[in-house]
Amino acid sequence: MTARASLISLALATAALLAGTLAASATCSCRFQGSEWKLGERACITLGNKSVMMECRMNQNVTSWAPLKGGCPKLSLASPIEDLELAAWGDSSPAPVKASAHSHVMHY
């Protein structure tokens, strides 16, 4: 192998190594409603008249939204009567509030 061919091979190997390092350090994210979502994060996205739970994933070196089975979680509101213990009308103290078994905090 000539010196020129060796130099070209070394340059190509160095370029490939640098390209792989730069690609690995890139921060990838999906976009939805003007916000960035990290890989693995989920969002409930409406497509037509149906809401679908989607996850931000890599697909052939490109970020994309992938549908998940099960759909979006449903929220239900408990009756206000179940959640509040009303104070007597003549009492000036605020009505005490108790925690409901129906209260939920949703994290996707």
pLDDT in tens, 61-87: 999 999 999 889 887 776 555 545 544
Give the number of domains in the chain: 1
* Residue in 82, 74, 72, 81 with CA at minimum distance from that of residue 102: 82
Q: Are strands 35-38 and 62-67 parallel, antiparallel or unpaired?
A: unpaired
Does residue 101 lie in a domain region?
no
Does residue 91 lie in a domain region?
no
Does residue 99 lie in a domain region?
no
Helices (runs of H) and strands (runs of E) counted in the chain: 2, 5
Does residue 53 lie in a domain region?
yes
Token digits of residue 95: 């009505």
Does residue 11 lie in a domain region?
yes
Does residue 52 lie in a domain region?
yes
Does residue 102 lie in a domain region?
no
Q: Which domain, by its residues, includes 58? A: 3-83
Does residue 43 lie in a domain region?
yes
Please tell me the pTM assigned to this model: 0.47
pLDDT in tens, 19-61: 554 455 578 999 998 999 999 999 999 988 889 999 999 999 9
